[in-house]
Amino acid sequence: MKRNNILYVLVFFTLMCSTIFATPIKHEIALEYGLYNSEQIIDIELAIEEKITDAELAIEESIPQYITNELVNSKSEFEVFASYDLYQRKQTLLGIIDELEIEVEQQIIEIEQNVIEEGLQATDEPELSSEEKAVVPPPAEPTGKYAYLTFDDGPSDNTILILDCLKDYDIKATFFVLHVPGREDVYRRIVNEGHTIALHSSTHEYSEIYQTVDTYLADIKNLENVIVENTGVTPVILRFPGGSNNTVSHQYGGSDIMPNIIEATNAAGYIYFDWNVDSQDASKITQEKDIIVDAVLSQSANKTQPVILMHDSKFKTTTPEALPEIIEGLTQLGFSFEKITAETPVVQFSLKKE
């Protein structure tokens, strides 16, 4: 059994170091929902016996700190965990790369302007008029720093705790909801307390919603109808399960499924949002609170518009626990809080085809 555990750790280490992301299996998203019974999950001590070689011990010590003592009880379930965690990190990194490219372009503009200004000051020729200077204008200064707290996969009891916390701090947020029969009161509370209720999916079942453009639109329209019926609000903001450039959908609808769905949703008047800060609360069934707090604050520190991915499904109990520290930490970093609306500058991943 312990040899098998070492094998699992080696598999995970190989996946983390690889630049090729393995194709996720059909029910990859199950971990996010916590669909595995707690009885199926066993606690395994990662203590290494004295007879294990120094090489194996060195490998174990090199594993990232977020590996914990909780491992699932089969290889297939471990692959679900590893694949989903890697996928979420890939999406966040792609968003960061996009932001860095924009920052580099802005820095180049500033450098070019400084060179031009220094060159004009160094010359003996008369200074040119403002009309004669071919100076590239600097980028506009941001008007403020706004953090967007977003929660996927509710409503659940954790949504209630999150709403209570937001009410205490007088903060508005955005909830990308599912169709959860029996929780219609939560939809109404989200709207009544001034938050944005947004579309995520009726079922969150990749194999169903990502078969065709029509199957996706039918899923979203069903959820929209439920929200309108219970709140009177017609939502226009949405977030695709897995993000706009997910590749899981390719298994069911082909490599062009996401571009085609995006074109159709844009034409239908929806506005989609991805994220640029990953709280890592979906990297485990129930993530440690401190990891969630540290992930949000560290990734948000150098941004002016962090769109923060969090989850409020029933197993994400540490997300509401982390929320007060996240709010206070972001406030200390100079952020105000806003909900996503149709006027919010979009945060979207670069769409990449296979």
Q: What are phi and psi of 51, to 5 degrees?
A: -80, -10
The pLDDT of residue 267 is above 60: yes
Q: Where are the beta strands (DSSP E) in 44-192?
A: 70-71, 146-152, 174-178
b or e along 50-68 (b: 16 or more beta carbons within 10 Å of the residue's beta carbon)?
eeeeeebeeebeeeeeeee
pLDDT digits (tens, 9 = 90+) for 164-219: 999 999 999 999 999 999 999 999 999 999 999 999 999 999 999 999 999 999 99
Question: Rounded mean pLDDT of the chain?
Answer: 77
Query: Of 32, 317, 270, 266, nearest to 152 (Cα)?
Result: 32
Q: Pull the structure tokens for residue 100.
A: 């860095």
Q: What are phi and psi of 73, to 5 degrees?
A: -100, 15
- Asked if residues 43 and 68 have their Cβ atoms less than 8 Å apart, the reply is no
> Which range is most confident: 23-27, 121-125, 232-236?
232-236
pTM: 0.64
Element (H, E) at 167: helix 157-169
Residue 74 vs residue 237, higher pLDDT = 237
Query: Of 230, 235, 236, 239, nearest to 183 (Cα)?
Result: 230
Q: Pull the structure tokens for residue 260.
A: 């085609």
- The amino acid sitting at 327 is I
pLDDT digits (tens, 9 = 90+) for 301-312: 999 999 999 999
The pLDDT of residue 242 is above 90: yes
pLDDT digits (tens, 9 = 90+) for 75-123: 555 555 555 556 666 666 666 666 666 565 666 556 656 655 555 444 4
Sequence-separated (6 or more) residues with CB below 8 Å from residue 234? 224, 227, 228
Number of C-beta neighbours around residue 227 at 10 A: 22
pLDDT at 350: 87
All structural domains of the chain, each given as residue ranges with its CATH number in brackets, are: 146-337 (3.20.20.370)
Q: Does residue 155 have a cis bond before it (omega within 30 degrees)?
A: yes
In Å, what is the CA distance from 12 to each residue of 81, 281, 331? Answer: 9, 18, 36
- Asked if residues 354 and 255 have their Cβ atoms less than 8 Å apart, the reply is yes
Residue 3's pLDDT band, with cuts at 50, 70 and 90, is: very low
Q: Which residue has the tokens 């977020």?
A: 66
